[in-house]
Amino acid sequence: MLQVEDLRVNYGQINAVKGISFEVKEKEIVTLIGSNGAGKTSTLRSISNLIGKSGGKVVFKGEDITRLKPSEIVKKGICHVPEGRHIFPFLTVEENLFMGSYANKNPEKSNYKKNLEEVYFLFPVLKERRKQMGGTLSGGEQQMLAIGRGLMLEPTLIFFDEPSLGLAPILVEQIFKHIEKIRDMGKTLLLVEQNARKALKIADRGYVMETGKIVFSDTAENITQDPKLAKAYLGIA
Ligand SMILES: Nc1ncnc2c1ncn2[C@@H]1O[C@H](COP(=O)(O)OP(=O)(O)O)[C@@H](O)[C@H]1O
Ligand SMILES: [Mg+2]
């Protein structure tokens, strides 16, 4: 579904992503893991064209999307749930979700209603709090809102950048359960995480990034069982 070839990202003299290649197949959960500064966020942001690429090619469903505008990429069916949530604090929950549907390729009202019901079904707490300001939600609820807003776009491929960052352990569990549910809805997911152990538990395959390069890739199960990788990335002695 998504093929990334020799992707490069530079910030001035800093080579943040040094020519990586990977793919995501339909209905997979693929995880990109690696420590802070490895280049995971830069990878996602450059595929979405929120930052420029210094080189490489991105093909989505057989179409070259390397140079499309971010809004055009969204319309192709790729949605990006960014690191740090970025909801609108002074809009209500429902208004935040409406803002999500604004960029939808099918802007009819019927689609909006159907998508809203789907988001509320997945996250009942958002329905309970639909009239509450986004900024008054807890961290976990804000993450749900950011994900829900992405779902309003009817994406087929979703990028999640550190969805569990800064959440209490019980909320981390919840967010990962929801991510699995979203896959069960038929979506394809590319999940970036520092919480490698949790990400590998729900993923089909994983790529390990280190200082801008992919140093290892395998099924999630094999990565978890590799003693060297387990020690380096999963904190297992
Ligand atoms: N806007 C930026 N300007 C300069 N350097 C950046 C910028 N964003 C990220 N970097 C650098 O690029 C590298 C990769 O960062 P990032 O993609 O955020 O990694 P990760 O998401 O894996 O933590 C880091 O060395 C980081 O300091
Ligand atoms: Mg990051």
Write the pLDDT tens digit of every residue in 62-111.
999 999 999 999 999 999 998 877 889 999 999 999 987 777 777 676 68
CA-nearest residue for atom 16, ligand 1, is 39
Supply the range of the domain harboring residue 56: 1-68+188-237
Gap from CA of 41 to ligand 1 centroid (Å): 7
Would 235 be classed as within a structural domain?
A: yes
Residue 108 lies inside a defined structural domain of this protein: no
For the Cβ of 39 lying below 6 angstroms from any atom of ligand 1, the answer is: yes
Does residue 79 fall inside a structural domain? no
Residue 42 in contact with ligand 1 by CB distance below 6 A = yes
* pTM for this model (two decimals): 0.92
Residue 47, domain CATH: 3.40.50.300
Residue 101 lies in a domain: no
Q: Is residue 226 domain-resident?
A: yes
Residue written as token pair 């579904």: 1
Minimum CA distance residue for ligand 1 atom 18: 41
Task: Identify whether 93 is part of a domain.
Answer: no
Alpha helices in the chain (DSSP H): 40-47, 70-76, 93-101, 109-122, 124-128, 139-151, 169-184, 196-202, 220-225, 227-233
Quick check: 190 pLDDT over 70? yes
Nearest to 90 by CA among 149, 144, 134, 143: 134
Which residue among 14, 17, 54, 81 is best mutated to probe the pocket of ligand 1, counting the most ligand atoms within 8 A of its Cβ?
14
Q: Residue 39 C-alpha to ligand 2 middle, in angstroms? A: 7
Ligand 1 atom closest to 45 (CA) = 17
Q: Is the pLDDT of residue 127 over 70?
A: yes
Q: How far is the CA of 16 from the centre of ligand 1 (A)?
A: 6
User: How many structural domains compose the chain?
Assistant: 1
